[in-house]
Structure 1
Amino acid sequence: MADTAVAAPAAAPTVASSNPTASTGLGMRKNGKTWHAQKRAFRQTSFAKRMDQDKANKATKALEQEMKDEKEQERQRRIRAIKDKRKAKEEKERYAKMEEKMHRKLVERRKRREKRNKLLNS
C-alpha cells in the first residue's frame, strides 16, 4: 500500500504539467477553460515605467504642438503678405486714377502727406 501512496502524488504533477495554467501556480481557472490564456492584472507596468512613458508622451505632444504653431505662424505670415500686396495694389490703382484727373506733382504731394499720416496714426 505504501507503493501506491507514493505513485499517486507522482501522477498528479504530470497531469498538472500538461495544463498550462497549473504550471504557473495560479490554480485552476474559475470557468474551467484551461485552454485560454490566463488573465493578468490590468496594469502590468510599474509606476516608474508609466511615469517615464507619460514624460515621453508629453515631450512628443509638446514637440507636435510647437511644430503646429510654427506651421500656423508661417501660414499667417503668408496671408499677411498677400493682404499687404493687395492693399498696395489697390492704393497704386487709386493713385493712378487720381493722376488721370489731377496733376502728377499734386498726387505725389498727397501720397507723401497720406504716408506721413499713416505713420503718425499707426
Structure 2
Amino acid sequence: MSTIVEAGAQAPEKPLGMRKNGKQWHAPKKAFRPGSGLTSYEQRAKLRVAQQLVKAKEKEMKDEKEEERQRRITALKEKRAAKEEKERYEKMAEKMHKKRVERLKRKEKRNKLLNS
C-alpha cells in the first residue's frame, strides 16, 4: 500500500508537445519577468558594505605584499652597494698604505653623514 502512496505523491510532468518554431532541441524558456530580479534597498546597501570590506582587505593585502617586495629590493641594493664599496677599498689598498685607506674610509663616512 505504501508503494501506491509514493507513486501518487510524484505528479507526472505534463508533456509540452511540439514547439511551434520547430526547434525542439532548445531548452524551454521561462516567461520574461523584468521585476523578478530587483532587490530591496537594504539588501543592496548590505551588499555594498560587504563589497567595500572585501576591497579594503584586498588593498591591505596588496599593500603588505608591495611593502615586502620594496623591503627586499632595498636590502638587495644596500648589499650590492656595500659589496661594491668593499671592492673599491680593496683595490685602493693594493695601491696605497693600509692606514691611509682607513683614514679615507673614515673621511668618506663623515662626508656621507654630513650630506645626508
When normalised by structure 1's length, the TM-score is 0.68
Is the aligned partner of 1:48 residue 2:42?
Answer: yes
Partner of 1:101: 95
Count of aligned pairs between the two proteins: 89
Unaligned regions of 5+ residues in structure 1, if any?
A: 1-17, 19-34
- State the Cα RMSD in Å: 1.7
Partner of 1:113: 107
Distance 2:95 2:83 in 1: 19
Distance 2:104 2:91 in 1: 13
Partner of 2:52: 58
Q: CA deviation at 1:92?
A: 0.1
Distance 1:93 1:42 in 2: 75
Is the aligned partner of 1:83 residue 2:109?
Answer: no
**Percent identity over paired residues:** 61
Could you list the runs of 4 or more consecutive aligned residues of structure 1 that deviate by over 6 angstroms after TM superposition? none
Is the aligned partner of 1:67 residue 2:45?
Answer: no
Q: Which has the higher helix share?
A: 1
Q: CA deviation at 1:110?
A: 0.4
